[in-house]
Amino acid sequence: MALVFRVAMQFVGLLLSLLGWVLSIITTYLPHWKNLNLDLNEMENWTMGLWQTCVIQEEVGRQCKDFDSFLALPAELRISRILMFLSNGLGLLGLLLSGFGLDCLRIGERQPAFKKRLLILGGLLFWTAGITALVPVSWVAHMTVQEFWDETVPEIVPRWEFGEALFIGWFAGFSLLLGGCLLNCAACSMQAPPASGHHAVAEMQYHHQHLEMKNSHLKI
């Protein structure tokens, strides 16, 4: 029963981590980190991501333009690019390591201690990937709130608001954190496997021979 519960915990943790990793990749390239609605022209909406700015018009459709220079971007967008790439890489590495550490795979079944270390390391990588994804999303959201309530900007000037990518990024980060937590809990619940029958018989024979030698010395 404990083995079934542990395998189920590993399976759920890996699925949550995989979901968080996929959503983190989508968040990285989705051009909806910020939305801008123009009150003067309701048929025109602007969106901004880490790579490009898009304008959506009812007559023309969507038109996007990539940012010309990386160094010309605001600091939060520049660092967000790096952190999101790092989160995606850590998530991929965590998937590979934790996948080989699952109990349902027969690979390395004779080395349970090694599989346990792989599972723990994969869970830690998912934790790091989740935090690395939450930091840029939360930072961009914080800067958006500050700019929205900036009193020095006239009220007639349109303000950027939260885009859909921020909410997807938050969900991705928390999924990675929860998945890594479940994998670590499953790894910590793993116990050393019981001794095999051959090993137990050999150990009993060794103790029996040791007692016979001790008795022979006492008789002498």
Q: Which two tokens stand for residue 50?
A: 């880490």
- What does the pLDDT average to over 166-187? 94
- DSSP track, 55-95: EEETTTEEEEEE-S-STTS-HHHHHHHHHHHHHHHHHHHHH
Residues of the domain holding 76: 2-219
What's residue 203's pLDDT? 45
CATH of the domain at 121: 1.20.140.150
Q: Which two tokens stand for residue 37?
A: 């609605």
Q: For the chain, give the percent of residues with pLDDT over 90.
A: 48
Q: How far is CA 55 from CA 46, 65, 150, 180, 219, in A?
A: 4, 9, 24, 38, 99
What pTM did the predictor assign? Answer: 0.80
Secondary structure E strands in the chain: 34-37, 44-48, 52-57, 61-66, 161-162
What's residue 2's pLDDT? 64
What's residue 202's pLDDT? 44
Domain count, the chain: 1
- C-alpha 185/C-alpha 179 separation (Å) is 10
Q: How does pLDDT run across 48-91, given as a tens digit for each residue?
A: 999 999 988 877 788 899 998 888 888 999 999 999 999 999 99
Q: How does pLDDT run across 7-32, given as a tens digit for each residue?
A: 888 889 999 999 999 999 999 999 99
Average pLDDT, the chain: 83
CB 87 within 8 A of CB 93: no
pLDDT reading at 100 higher than 70: yes
